[in-house]
Structure 1
Amino acid sequence: MPSRKFLLTICCALALIPAIASAGELLGAGVISTGLQETSAALTADGQTLYFMRSDFAEADDTIMVSQRHGNRWSTPQVATFSGEWHDSEPTLSPDGNRLYFVSNRPLHPGDAPVMAEMNGQQFPGSNLWYVERQARGGWGTPVHVDGALNDGAMIYNPSVTASGDIYFSAHRADSGKAYQIYVAHPQSRGYAAPVRVELGDLEHSRMDPAVDPQGRFLIYAGNEGDSLGSADIYIAFRQADGSWGKPLHLGNDVNSRTLENAPSLGPGFGELYVSSARRDDVHFPKPRDNGATLQQRLQSPLNGSRNLWRFDIADVLRAHGITR
């Protein structure tokens, strides 16, 4: 599959509307955030358990990991009990914590071929939406396929769920235009209704990786509305009184950098935002002369240009728009 940062297009500019967020912190340097690719943080309500995706640079081998917080430290991540065999990615927890949704190329029936997708004449591992249910004695049950039109085309990414059961996700569908857009599927008596595209503006702009407020008051996503600092930045849109979404706002220079930012997710605390970012340490020349050991250590460090998980506080942004908890 082509790198998703190249699928995010740069088109007509929108006026910049400033939004201020506090400076971020790298999550679990050397343990959670490493020299590999880490994205898609999903924290339990008590903040003590973290699910996330770890991958190689090419994102050809995605696996869902889990780590426990002990004081200020995170445990060595382990492969989640339901992952490790297929191309599994982008975990998200339902607001009540009883379901963990993720996308996967695993076949619908044992023994079948993995799910594949095609775009612009290229074939690549596809993705369908699945979930696991929390068990009474702890742990997760067997993965369950989410049936319905939301999986049409096998290109569904980054699910996010409201308290009412609406599932937001990004996908390339017949009405997406040239790139990706954000959709919502509403629950009905049996399964989910056909997905509806979330209207956020010109379809020339690619929009991905939604993180929706559990109450549906705001929506955070990755894209480029014409004012991106890098190949993709993080934006927020607020629900209007008539139920529509307001003009997307760029989340400013703390959340965003001149590298790739994507896969935002909401933490359990008010204003707690997690973002995958490829920001790196600057290299200045001439540099102190490396030997083999120092070069390897630096090139394998979290800030080597791989994507890592960062935590930000956007409480002030939410309060400025009338959201206080």
Structure 2
Amino acid sequence: MKLQALAWTVAFALACAGPLKAAELLGPGVISTGLQETTAAFSPDGQTLYFLRSDFAETDDTILVSHRQGKSWSTPEVASFSGQWHDSEPTFTPDGKRLYFVSNRPVRPGGASLVVEMHGQHFPGTNLWYVERQADGRWGEPNHVDGALNDGAMLYNPSVAANGDIYFSAHRPDSGNSYQIYVVHPAGSGYSNPQRVELGDISHNRMDPCIDPRGRFLLFAGDEGDSLGSADIYIAFRQADGSWSKPEHLGGDVNTKSLENAPTLGPTFGELYVSSNRQEDVHFPKRRDTVATLQQRLSGPLNGSRNIWRVDISSVLRTHGIND
């Protein structure tokens, strides 16, 4: 089949695939609250969840952990390795033996916390760290990941493939004016120099990569020119020659006019979690509020804070020949 005909076939199939299933708020009132929650990281068995909670200004980021209890989630607790520094964006390795995250904590004991400057603004810097599962099931002490990937101290949202490749977003000398997605490969006892993932015009901002464990597709947040809001979720597929397809805007209930970012995969096929600040619609005249009802609504998950939402992209994956 000629490439042009194949492209039309795929486009027609996507159009006929039907809408994705409606988004579901993850753990309303427990996981998703009136604060900011992003970056869902599930253990391989789906029974443990690590995620980020912060204030609206995102000046105080902490990694929390919760455990599945039937159809609900336990009250979150601060992760054993977090709570003192600006820690964020946890992600498991596919085998569950390591959990990576980014932090402004000192690279060496007794050193200063990381601070970076961009466009005249100072904010916490980030380096890549990981904790490793010990024989008793607990996490060990955090380990700093040395190498060029941490140059500039602006590394965000790591995502690890089964072969050990680490994808992340960063602002580096070859990023242009925007953030781009990079990958490093295991090399000896460390990692290769970062390589920018070629996804098209670098004037487009690309953040928060989420790699399929087998490397068949890549999800990220950004605006490829057709975003419904300030950032949406896109997907690109690995081609036969190893390159990436043109990013596709995900339909259904994945993207809205609100901000969507931090895509992560769940433990079952097609299960995708995204962060979004989508709100409940308010229609006027509204039912008259009391102080109590107003306080309840404005402090709840749909008050404009970012929360974690579950969506289903299995139909898109199947359209591209991915069934597991």
Q: Secondary structure at 1:160's aligned position in 2?
A: strand
Deviation at 1:263, TM superposition (A): 0.2
Shift of 1:24: 1.3
| Alpha-carbon distance, 1:110 to partner | 2.2
Q: Which moved more, 1:21-30 or 1:241-250?
A: 21-30
Q: Count matched residues.
A: 311
Q: How many angstroms apart in 2 are the aligned matches of 1:288 and 1:311?
A: 30
1:133-163 CA-partner distances (Å, limit 9, x unpaired): 0011011000000000000000000000000
AA paired with 2:50? Y
Q: Is the 8 A contact 1:40 1:264 kept in 2?
A: yes
Distance in 1 (CA, whole Å) between partners of 2:243 and 2:102 is 27
Residue matched to 2:129: 130
Task: Check if 1:149 corresponds to 2:148.
Answer: yes
Q: Which amino acid in structure 1 is aligned with residue 171 of structure 2?
A: H
Are 1:140 and 2:113 matched, yes or no?
A: no
Counterpart for residue 5 of structure 1 = none
AA in 2 matched with 1:257: T
Distance 1:199 1:119 in 2: 24
Aligned partner letter, 1:179: S
| Offset of residue 118 of structure 1 | 1.5
1:112-143 superposed Cα distances (whole Å, 9 cap, x missing partner): 11101111122110000000000110110000
- Match of 2:29, SS? coil
**281-290 vs 57-66, which moves further:** 281-290
Higher relative contact order (CA 8 A, sep 6+): 1
Q: CA contact under 8 A between 1:207 and 1:221: conserved in structure 2?
A: yes
- Secondary structure of 2:311's counterpart equals strand
CA distance in 1, matches of 2:91, 2:79: 13
| 1:72 Cα deviation after fit | 0.3
User: Does the CA contact (< 8 Å) of 1:166 and 1:184 recur in 2?
Assistant: yes
Name the residue aligned to 1:297: 296
Q: 1:190 offset after TM fit, Å?
A: 2.2
Residue 51 of structure 1: how far off its partner (Å): 0.3
Query: CA separation in 1, counterparts of 2:289 and 2:269?
Result: 43
| C-alpha separation in 1, matches of 2:160 and 2:45 | 18
Code of the residue aligned with 2:303 in structure 1: it is N
Equivalent residue number for residue 163 of structure 2: 164
Q: In structure 2, what is the equivalent of residue 120 of structure 1?
A: 119
Corresponding residue SS for 1:298 = helix
Runs of 4+, deviation exceeding 6 Å: none
Task: Work out whether residues 101 and 158 of structure 2, in 8 Å CA contact, stay in contact via their aligned partners in 1.
Answer: yes
SS of equivalent residue, structure 2 residue 253: helix
The aligned counterpart of 2:249 is 250
User: Matched residues in 2 for 1:116 and 1:321: separation?
Assistant: 42
- 2:293 is paired with a residue whose SS is helix
Distance, in Å, in 2 between the alignment partners of 1:239 and 1:289 is 53
Note if contact 1:21-1:251 (Cα within 8 Å) is conserved in structure 2.
no
Instruction: State the SS of the aligned residue for 1:154.
Output: coil
Cα distance in structure 1, aligned partners of 2:312 and 2:251? 12
Matched residue type, 1:232: A
SS in 1 for 2:280: coil
Amino acid at match of 1:318: L
Task: Tell me if 1:263 matches 2:262.
Answer: yes
In the other structure, the counterpart of 1:277 is 276
- Structure 2 counterpart SS, 1:274: strand
What corresponds to 2:223 in structure 1? 224
Partners of 2:21 and 2:252 within 8 A in 1: no
Structure 1 counterpart of 2:188, which letter? S
Q: Deviations over 1:14-38 (max 9, x none)?
A: x9x7574221110000000000000
Root-mean-square deviation (Å):
1.3
Matched, 1:307 2:306: yes
Identity of aligned residues (%): 73
User: CA-to-partner distance for each residue in 1:145-193, whole Å, 9 max, x for gaps?
Assistant: 0000000000000000000000000000000011100000111012001
Q: What letter is aligned with 1:182?
A: I
Structure 2: give runs of 5+ residues left out of the alignment: 1-10
Aligned amino acid, residue 37 of structure 1: Q
Amino acid at match of 1:192: Y
Match of 1:51 in 2: 50
Cα deviation per residue 1:90-116 (whole Å; 9 max; x = unaligned)?
000000100000000000122211101
Deviation at 1:269, TM superposition (A): 0.6
Question: Counterpart of 2:275 in structure 1: which amino acid?
Answer: S
User: Which amino acid in 2 is paired with 1:224?
Assistant: D
Does structure 1 residue 183 correspond to structure 2 residue 182? yes
Q: Find the aligned partners of 1:100 and 1:185 in 2 and give their Cα distance.
A: 17
Letter in 1 for 2:80: T
**Normalised TM-score (structure 2):** 0.94
Aligned to 1:233: 232
